[in-house]
């Protein structure tokens, strides 16, 4: 570091819900929501990250909040580029310093055009060399698996916009499944459910809060209760209603089942030798979605294999991407 260090190497987990930045030699320096607030008329950015999230769903008419990523891919290129630029600016120690290398993870299920967009956004944000890595590979490295071994490991990264499942061996992805279902889908299912069954209109961030507090994939003992504020559709005015964890479980049943079904599909396509390794080592869950209560147990019951939630699942991908950045030569086989 210091004044004379004029280049920085960065690793970025550009997620649908959260963006994390890792600086070589320093570790994780930023972890903020992937959201931008801008002025509707002149498109100037007012805030990014946490500050912009505070404004979400309560914006006056001249301010708009945008989440530039949808299902793991860039949906609004200009805003995504601005967001990356501004988030990097927040953590750069030295404004003179240039970004030399940037390693960014991308979902496995993305097209060449979508990859190009990530690469271009990183270059426009100032990176001279951009490297891409598959998100489940980064997750596997981040939780400390030795991905170069001739042994199969299964990682399930449940993010906000995607669930990525991969069986990894010898530094490569042998089989994978990627579905555009993640935590956001659970929130949306809750909004629908409470509207239909309780005449209660809630915002998606309220749904997310409820999910984190009382959401579960399996029965809870005891079941939980929560007071929820929303707009009562019968009278049209704000109201508080009591809801139960059983309600929430029912609301998210379908997308949760889709995640389990994707894990099963991936296992069915896994070569037997690698399947035997997974039987022994179990399945590792990462990503914020893996924090849903009982999700590991629910998947375990469906597949009859050991299932573990990784330690600190929300930072697994950026830690893995950072590890690759620290040893680009050693990990050259995992870069795409
Ligand atoms: N305790 C919790 N219980 C349930 N869900 C949670 C919990 N904590 C976080 N989440 C969910 O995790 C998701 C965010 O996870 P993460 O940061 O891994 O996603 P992302 O990397 O931004 O998305 P993606 O990888 O799909 O692009 C959100 O949908 C959030 O609601
Ligand atoms: Mg992610």
pLDDT tens per residue across span 258-288: 999 999 999 999 999 999 999 999 999 999 9
CB 234 within 8 A of CB 204: no
Which atom from ligand 1 is nearest to the alpha carbon of 186? 29
Looking at residue 59, what is its pLDDT?
Answer: 79
Which atom from ligand 1 is nearest to the alpha carbon of 293? 3
pLDDT for 301 beyond 60: yes
Whether residues 110 and 225 fall in one domain: no
Classify residue 112 as left (phi > 0), alpha (psi -120 to 50) or beta.
Answer: alpha
Whether residues 40 and 124 fall in one domain: yes
| CATH number (domain holding residue 49) | 3.30.420.40
- Over range 110-129, report the average pLDDT: 93
Q: Range of 159's domain?
A: 144-181+253-311
Residue 3: band (very low, low, confident or very high) from pLDDT cuts 50, 70, 90: low
Whether residues 166 and 94 fall in one domain: no
Centroid of ligand 1 to alpha carbon of 324 (angstroms)? 23
Looking at residue 58, what is its pLDDT?
Answer: 79
Alpha carbons 174 and 309: distance in angstroms, whole number: 22
What rounded mean pLDDT belongs to the chain? Answer: 95
pLDDT for 305 beyond 90: yes
Which ligand is nearest the CA of 163, by number? 1
Which atom from ligand 1 is nearest to the alpha carbon of 184? 29
Task: Name the β-bridge partners of 166.
Answer: 155, 176
Pocket test of ligand 1: the residue of 13, 14, 16, 17 to mutate, having most ligand atoms within 8 Å of its CB, is: 17
- Over range 156-167, report the average pLDDT: 98
- Over range 67-81, report the average pLDDT: 95
Looking at residue 4, what is its pLDDT?
Answer: 59
- Over range 148-174, report the average pLDDT: 97
pLDDT for 165 beyond 80: yes
In the numeric block, which tokens belong to residue 275?
């399947």
Residue 98: band (very low, low, confident or very high) from pLDDT cuts 50, 70, 90: confident
Centroid of ligand 2 to alpha carbon of 264 (angstroms)? 21
Whether residues 127 and 191 fall in one domain: no
| Ligand 1: lining residues by beta carbon, under 6 Å | 15-18, 72, 159-162, 182-184, 208, 211-212, 215, 287-289, 291-292, 314
Whether residues 124 and 156 fall in one domain: no
Lowest model confidence (mean pLDDT) among 11-25, 112-126, 153-167: 112-126
Q: Which of 218, 251, 284 is the last residue of a domain?
A: 251
Looking at residue 5, what is its pLDDT?
Answer: 64
Pocket test of ligand 1: the residue of 157, 289, 317 to mutate, having most ligand atoms within 8 Å of its CB, is: 289
Looking at residue 282, what is its pLDDT?
Answer: 97
For residue 234, report the phi and psi dihedrals to the nearest 5 degrees: -75, -45
Centroid of ligand 2 to alpha carbon of 13 (angstroms)? 7
Centroid of ligand 1 to alpha carbon of 258 (angstroms)? 16
CB 159 within 8 A of CB 179: no
């Amino acid at each position: 570091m210091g004044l004379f260090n004029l280049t920085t190497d960065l690793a970025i987990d550009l997620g649908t819900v959260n963006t994390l930045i890792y600086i070589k030699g320093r570790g994780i320096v930023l972890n903020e929501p992937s959201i931008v607030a801008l002025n509707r008329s002149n498109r100037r950015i007012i805030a990014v990250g946490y500050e912009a999230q505070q404004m979400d769903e309560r914006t006056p008419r001249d301010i708009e909040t945008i989440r530039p990523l949808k299902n793991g891919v860039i949906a609004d290129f200009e805003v995504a580029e601005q967001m990356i630029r501004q988030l990097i600016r927040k953590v750069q120690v030295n404004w003179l310093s240039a970004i030399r290398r940037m390693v960014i993870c991308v979902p496995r299920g993305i097209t060449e055009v979508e990859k190009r967009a990530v690469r271009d956004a990183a270059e426009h944000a100032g990176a001279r060399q951009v490297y891409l890595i598959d998100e489940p590979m980064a997750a596997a490295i981040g939780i400390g698996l030795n991905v170069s071994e001739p042994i199969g490991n299964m990682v399930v990264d449940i993010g906000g916009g995607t669930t990525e499942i991969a069986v990894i061996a010898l530094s490569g992805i042998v089989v994978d499944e990627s579905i555009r279902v993640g935590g956001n889908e659970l929130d949306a299912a809750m909004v629908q459910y409470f509207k239909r069954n309780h005449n209660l209109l809630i915002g998606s961030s309220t749904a997310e809060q409820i999910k984190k507090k009382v959401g579960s994939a399996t029965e809870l003992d005891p079941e939980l209760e929560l007071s929820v504020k929303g707009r009562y559709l019968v009278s049209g005015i704000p109201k508080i209603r009591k809801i139960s964890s059983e309600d929430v479980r029912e609301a998210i049943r379908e997308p949760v089942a889709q995640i389990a079904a994707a894990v099963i599909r991936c296992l069915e396509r896994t070569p037997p030798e690698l399947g035997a390794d997974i039987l022994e080592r179990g399945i590792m869950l990462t990503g914020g979605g893996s924090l849903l209560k009982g999700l590991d147990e629910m998947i375990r019951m469906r597949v009859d294999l050991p299932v573990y939630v990784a330690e600190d699942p929300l930072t697994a991908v950026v830690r893995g991407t950072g590890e690759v950045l620290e040893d680009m030569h050693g990990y050259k086989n995992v870069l795409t």
